[in-house]
Amino acid sequence: MSKRDYYDVLGVSRDVDSQGLKSAYRKLAFKYHPDRNPNDKAAEERFKEAAEAYAVLADADKRARYNQFGHAGVSGAGASQGFDPTIFADFNDIFGGLGDMFGFGDGRRQGGPTQGADLRYDLDISLEDAAKETEATLQIPREESCERCGGSGAAPGSSPQSCPQCRGRGQVRYQQGFFTVARTCGQCRGAGKVITNPCDACGGHGRAARERKLTVKVPAGIDTGQRLRLQGEGEHGPRGGPAGDLYVVIHVQNHPVFHRDGSDLLCVIPVTYPTLVLGGTIPVPTLGNDEILTVPKSTQSDTRFRIRGKGLPHVTGRGRGDLFVDVKVAVPKSVSQEQKSIIEKLDKTMPKRAFEPHERRDTGEADTRPFFERVKDIFG
């Protein structure tokens, strides 16, 4: 493994200015900072590599020697120690003391097992189910700790051994020219431990795919896009680490009768012409029992009625929305002979064309007012 070119390490061109250098280093330092990558030897190496490259290239003198002689030109400049003390000064300068804001030094536990992944489950429920508290049974495929070995990956009765290659350190060091270079141990992949006698249930992985049945309580009034968090029901962490969470994302299906608007419901009910003209009562569906709606006489088509408290429960648990009913005149597709003659009789009593000249109702003289006023006079 030969030492990488400093410009390549920082991903900058050879004529980069100090500002570009700083911003390239800042990005890498954020990304690979050990506090943000606990136990990740590879990230640590990248962090040190970037720091070393920046220490040389940010110093005009060292940069000139590096440009001319390569790594050999700066090998005596303290760059081989990984952390030149000046780098900490540079680091502070670059981050302006805002390190905490970016999660540096947040006291995250080092060396512990990592947490399992969060899972997402999309749950379809009917509008009827959304109106009341329900229980849903979910079938969740997830990685769980192996029951046989308790997640260690080692066969029962045995345990993971200290890695012989790195003697448990997780990394191996070797001499590379003037430098001592550390690299993640290939045998244990940085874990420091190897399984010599793997568990035959999980093949040494410590986890196995399982299909788990879970019951989840879905609160009344839930709406599409809302999610329920089931703590600790995600994937189990590798090597016995804590489990992630399960997020159940709700999708409320469309309903053939009701349209939903938050906690309110809306439906369109066809009503006969005689009922609209003379008034009457009609049954109206709700998510529970039917309601009786009183239609006053001379009700126009598309009039909206509100039935309070017959919508969905508020998901907060207090009160319910309303049900809105739009009445629409129902025109029959076919009529009987008798109905036909009655309608014809009715028709003869009614003005035909509102826009044609006719006599005013009040004065009996020719109506010459504009169209909409004439219409009002006839149908109003």
Positions in the binding site for Zn ion (CB under 5 A): 146, 148-149, 163, 165-166, 185, 187-188, 199, 201-202
Q: Write down the least CB distance from residue 138 to Zn ion, Å.
A: 25
Which residue carries 């006719």 as its tokens?
358
Q: Write down the least CB distance from residue 111 to Zn ion, Å.
A: 15
The number of residues making up the chain comes to 380
Q: Write down the least CB distance from residue 187 to Zn ion, Å.
A: 5
Residue 70 or residue 150: which is nearer to Zn ion going by CB?
150
Q: Write down the least CB distance from residue 165 to Zn ion, Å.
A: 4
Residue 150 or residue 351: which is nearer to Zn ion going by CB?
150
How much is the CA Rg of the chain, to the nearest whole Å? 38
Query: Is residue 24 within 8 Å of 11, Cβ to Cβ?
Result: yes
Query: Is residue 80 within 8 Å of 179, Cβ to Cβ?
Result: yes
CA distances from 219 to 64, 197, 250 (A): 68, 48, 11
The neighbour count for residue 165, using CB atoms within 10 Å, is: 15
> Using N-to-C axis directions, what is the helix angle for 18-32 and 41-57, rounded to 10°?
160
Q: Write down the least CB distance from residue 192 to Zn ion, Å.
A: 6
Residue 84 or residue 144: which is nearer to Zn ion going by CB?
144
Residue 188 or residue 248: which is nearer to Zn ion going by CB?
188
Residue 201 or residue 267: which is nearer to Zn ion going by CB?
201
Residue 51 or residue 163: which is nearer to Zn ion going by CB?
163
Q: Write down the least CB distance from residue 206 to Zn ion, Å.
A: 6
Q: Reduced to 3 states, what is the DSSP secondary structure of residue 87?
A: helix
Q: Write down the least CB distance from residue 116 to Zn ion, Å.
A: 16
Residue 41 or residue 310: which is nearer to Zn ion going by CB?
41
Query: Is residue 142 within 8 Å of 210, Cβ to Cβ?
Result: yes
Residue 165 or residue 224: which is nearer to Zn ion going by CB?
165
Alpha-carbon gap, residue 264 to 222, rounded angstroms: 12
Q: Which residues pair with 304 in a beta bridge?
A: 326
Alpha-carbon gap, residue 42 to 30, rounded angstroms: 14
Q: Which residues contact 56 (CB under 8 A, 6 or more apart)?
A: 6, 62, 63, 66, 74, 77, 79
The neighbour count for residue 136, using CB atoms within 10 Å, is: 17
Q: Write down the least CB distance from residue 211 to Zn ion, Å.
A: 17
Q: Write down the least CB distance from residue 37 to Zn ion, Å.
A: 18
Alpha-carbon gap, residue 273 to 329, rounded angstroms: 6
The neighbour count for residue 114, using CB atoms within 10 Å, is: 12
Task: For residue 226, give the DSSP letter.
Answer: -
365 alpha-carbon distance from chain centroid: 70
Which residue carries 């990230």 as its tokens?
43
Residue 159 or residue 272: which is nearer to Zn ion going by CB?
159
